[in-house]
Amino acid sequence: MKLSDLQFDNRFSSELPADSTTENRPRQVTQAAYSWVAPKPFESPELLAFSTEVAELVGIDADEAPEELARLFSGKALLPGMQPYAMCYGGHQFGNWAGQLGDGRAINLGEVINDRGEYWALQLKGAGPTPYSRTADGFAVLRSSIREFLCSEAMFHLGVPTTRALSLVTTGEQVMRDMFYDGRPGLEAGAVVCRVAPSFIRFGQFQLPASRQDYTLLKQFADFTLVNHFPHLMAAGSEPGAEHYAAMFAEVCQLTAKMVVQWERVGFVHGVMNTDNMSILGLTIDYGPYGWLDNYDPDWTPNTTDAGNRRYRFGNQAEIAHWNLYQLANALYPLIDDADPLEAGIASYRREVNELRQRTMASKLGLTTQDDSDGELVTELLALLAIVETDMTLFYRNLGGLKVGSLCDPQIPDEQLLEPLADCYYVLDQLDGPYVERMAAWLRRYGKRLQKEGSDDAARQQRMNRVNPRYVLRNYLAQLAIDKAEAGDYSVLHELFELIKRPYDEQPEFEKYAGKRPDWARERAGCSMLSCSS
Ligand code: AMP
Ligand code: MG
């Protein structure tokens, strides 16, 4: 469809109350779900990357002129039907109630209905200040925009629920950032990502009116979300009531469980699981100081702001999602006036996480049946992966190539049994006698388990290769793209954008991107440590 023919139906802004003032300066906004705000018209926006797939979802032709796309998706020009606004929400940051936060640098353009009748909300990140910018500038820098653009699409192709990214545009303007929070700010290139999702509603959107005891707005919000995003929970013609809110909460619990266990499957660490960064649809949202596990370490967090408590470390994400769901339950409580259904939702979250974890680990190991001993098999494996630095992605992928015959052959010495895994290890010196013995024992036990279910080597490897990716957006890979892009060379950005579209396929032309983290990246900023400065 031609850009000018896109159909907009801006449900969020037409059905929910607007801020009565349009003054664009930081302030508290009450009794309103959003504020009208215009994006900043940047001097010379330039299109760096564009997702033709996301364009297709929205209904945009792939052959639109890049100049026009850059103008539109930086916010410099608007299409008929676009009505830009910033959403008002609150949230808990690092466990503390932070009050009003809101879209400080996100500006929504509206909701497109495509020719399949689907709604897709478009949102610019980094398009200028809003009433929610607080003390910040409303802009985003190139490095963090590259990370958001690539990672949204990488997650989608891995099969993880996520917001999508349509475009990456540089603004032609510079932004001041203190990247290391060490009092040495510098100028960086500004950029805008256009994000796309069925909805950008967050837990914090329910929390803020609840905290202000604005139950009118809270109910408007819950009704809007139910009717537009959980319509299957409502019988035709019925009015939203307590049972519907409870059912919606239970479904949010399920969706959140699915998201978090998918993160565990691929080794993703969100980094800032504040309640304002939790999507009501269970989508991964707000790619900031996220990271990917290279060596499997459940205690790892990429976020330097969180280095002390490691609240958002890899192995704690399911717990934190649980905590966040509790905050959402508290916010919805005034609409339901009964804790039992909310408690039931929370309990269902726990069950769902446990079940999904079990199934996910079974599929990562290529198992098709269940056995009482599987729990121990998995626990021992996860312990082994953490005691010596073992690359998570390579380990599971290599595991798929093992043969039951060899694993069950007592003649094969321990060292030889581990050989196919050799390239997963970061520090060969760590592979001492006790480790080799323990890992070999695990492999033999795994072999017996496979034998017991009559596992076929080739079929199992095929199955495992669809669950255990060959390529993930390793922290150092995104940094390589950034280093080049900051020097005006976008080749790595484009290569990685191709690579991440087929993460489960062998891509010989991109073999260089499959290897484990190189040594130079071990302690480098952007690779192993990221700040919230973006
Ligand atoms: P985060 O946890 O990084 O998603 O952001 C927390 C809050 O800070 C959100 O309300 C953001 O909109 C806001 N924020 C982050 N960076 C900026 C920025 N550069 N300008 C304005 N607001 C920002
Ligand atoms: Mg956020």
Residue 133 Cα to ligand 2 middle (Å):
11
Segment 453-462 mean pLDDT: 98
How many CA atoms lie less than 13 Å away from 131 in the CB half-sphere?
A: 24
Domain boundary among 335, 364, 393: 364
Is residue 28 located within the same domain as residue 165? yes
Higher pLDDT, 345 or 530: 345
- Region of 228 on the Ramachandran plot (φ > 0 left; ψ -120 to 50 alpha; else beta): alpha
Query: How many residues make up the chain in this entry?
Result: 534
Which residues, listed in sequence order, are joined to residue 165 by a DSSP beta bridge?
A: 195
Is residue 172 located within the same domain as residue 242? no
Q: DSSP code of 99?
A: E
Is residue 57 located within the same domain as residue 196? yes
Which residue has the least CA distance to atom 6 on ligand 1? 101
Identify the residue whose tokens are 């809007």.
224
In a domain, residue 411? The reply is no
In a domain, residue 273? The reply is yes
Residue 203 Cα to ligand 2 middle (Å):
11
Q: Best substitution site from 35, 40, 105 to test ligand 1's pocket, by max atoms within 8 Å of Cβ?
A: 105
Element (H, E) at 440: helix 433-452
Is residue 18 located within the same domain as residue 131? yes
Q: Is 299 exposed, middle or buried (0-12, 13-18, 19+ CB in 10 A)?
A: exposed
In a domain, residue 379? The reply is no
Residue 286 Cα to ligand 2 middle (Å):
5
Gap between the Cα atoms of 457 and 55, Å rounded:
40
How high is the pLDDT of residue 529? 85
Question: What letter represents residue 384's amino acid?
Answer: L
Ligand 1 pocket (Cβ < 6 Å) reads: 101-105, 132-133, 136-139, 272, 274, 277, 286, 288, 532
pTM of the model: 0.98
Shortest CA distance to 92 belongs to which of 202, 172, 168, 183? 202
pLDDT tens for 36-50 read: 999 999 999 999 999
Which residues, listed in sequence order, are joined to residue 192 by a DSSP beta bridge?
A: 169
In a domain, residue 415? The reply is no
Is residue 298 located within the same domain as residue 350? yes
pLDDT tens for 80-129 read: 999 999 999 999 999 999 999 999 999 999 999 999 999 999 999 999 99
Is residue 14 located within the same domain as residue 146? yes
Q: Best substitution site from 134, 176, 207 to test ligand 1's pocket, by max atoms within 8 Å of Cβ?
A: 134
Segment 163-186 mean pLDDT: 93
Segment 155-183 mean pLDDT: 95
In a domain, residue 261? The reply is yes
Active site members = 276
Residue 135 Cα to ligand 2 middle (Å):
15
Query: Which atom belonging to ligand 1 lies closest to the Cα atom of 140?
Result: 19
In a domain, residue 35? The reply is yes
Cβ neighbour number for residue 178 with a 10 Å cutoff: 12
Confidence of residue 434 (pLDDT cuts 50, 70, 90): very high
Query: Which atom belonging to ligand 1 lies closest to the Cα atom of 274?
Result: 2
Q: Are 139 and 126 spatial neighbours (Cβ–Cβ below 8 Å)? A: yes
Gap between the Cα atoms of 440 and 429, Å rounded:
17
- Region of 91 on the Ramachandran plot (φ > 0 left; ψ -120 to 50 alpha; else beta): left
Is residue 16 located within the same domain as residue 143? yes
Gap between the Cα atoms of 352 and 329, Å rounded:
17
Shortest CA distance to 317 belongs to which of 349, 359, 345, 281? 349
Cβ neighbour number for residue 318 with a 10 Å cutoff: 20
Which residue has the least CA distance to atom 7 on ligand 1? 101
- For ion ligand 2, residues whose CB falls within 5 Å: 277, 286
> Which ligand has the shortest distance to the CA of 125?
1
In a domain, residue 408? The reply is no
pLDDT at 21 over 90: yes
Shortest CA distance to 328 belongs to which of 91, 73, 31, 2? 91
Segment 67-92 mean pLDDT: 98
Domain boundary among 170, 200, 230: 200
Shortest CA distance to 244 belongs to which of 371, 341, 361, 159? 341
Which residue has the least CA distance to atom 18 on ligand 1? 138
Q: Which two tokens stand for residue 315?
A: 């192995």
State the total domains in the chain: 3
Is residue 279 located within the same domain as residue 141? no
Q: What is the mean pLDDT of the chain?
A: 97
How high is the pLDDT of residue 523? 86
Is residue 57 located within the same domain as residue 30? yes
**3-state secondary structure at position 63:** coil
Is residue 24 located within the same domain as residue 145? yes
Q: Which region among 147-156, 176-185, 377-386, 486-495 has the lowest average model confidence (pLDDT)?
A: 176-185
Burial letters 259-269, b for 16+ CB under 10 A, else e? bbbbbbbbbbb
Confidence of residue 269 (pLDDT cuts 50, 70, 90): very high
In a domain, residue 55? The reply is yes
27 alpha carbon, distance to own chain's centre = 29
How high is the pLDDT of residue 62? 82
Which residue has the least CA distance to atom 14 on ligand 1? 104
Query: Which atom belonging to ligand 1 lies closest to the Cα atom of 277?
Result: 4
Residue 327 Cα to ligand 1 middle (Å):
20
Which residue has the least CA distance to atom 8 on ligand 1? 104
Shortest CA distance to 433 belongs to which of 451, 418, 450? 418
pLDDT at 259 over 90: yes
Is residue 339 located within the same domain as residue 311? yes
Segment 28-35 mean pLDDT: 98
Classify strands 106-113 and 119-125 as parallel, antiparallel or unpaired: antiparallel
Is residue 161 located within the same domain as residue 23? yes
Query: Which atom belonging to ligand 1 lies closest to the Cα atom of 288?
Result: 3
Domain boundary among 348, 364, 380: 364
How high is the pLDDT of residue 181? 81
Burial letters 46-82, b for 16+ CB under 10 A, else e? ebbbbbeebbebbbbeeeeeeeebbbbbbbbeeeeeb
Shortest CA distance to 285 belongs to which of 197, 402, 345? 197
Residue 372 Cα to ligand 1 middle (Å):
47
Confidence of residue 524 (pLDDT cuts 50, 70, 90): confident
Query: Which atom belonging to ligand 1 lies closest to the Cα atom of 102?
Result: 10
4 alpha carbon, distance to own chain's centre = 31
Segment 328-351 mean pLDDT: 98
pLDDT tens for 211-250 read: 999 999 999 999 999 999 999 999 888 999 999 999 999 9
Which residue has the least CA distance to atom 23 on ligand 1? 104
Residue 485, domain extent? 475-521
How many CA atoms lie less than 13 Å away from 364 in the CB half-sphere?
A: 26
